[in-house]
Amino acid sequence: MRTQSITALVLSLASQSALASTASDVLYLIEQMNSSPCTFIRNGDEHNGQEAAAHLRRKWDYAKDDVTSTQVFIDEVASKSWFTGRAYQVVCDGQSTSSAEWLSQKLLSKPN
């Protein structure tokens, strides 16, 4: 019984650590968007970084209890419209890419 309790505690702590790491990564990505000079396209409408970050922050606040990893956040919350299913796009220096790709690249460049 004691071994099961210790195992449960270790798993719980590991889970809490993973969730804290996910939240840290998500907030980092939202800040990257907020400070970006790129144009963010959502359902055909253009938005600056501050507008896009505010939208993403609202989606994060709504979904964070269901987000189990940073990749889930990128794939399910930050890369497409929940209403239309259309992928978000990012235009930087005249080059267009998906929001998922842009966020993934930003995450790779996050300092440890």
Q: What is the pLDDT along the chain (112 residues), one digit of tens a residue?
A: 665 654 443 444 344 444 568 999 999 999 999 999 999 999 999 999 999 999 999 999 999 999 999 999 999 999 999 999 999 999 999 999 999 999 999 999 998 7
pTM of the model: 0.81
d(CA 42, CA 57): 14
Question: How would you classify the pairing of strands 89-92 and 45-47?
Answer: unpaired
> CA-to-CA distance for 11 and 28, rounded, in angstroms?
26
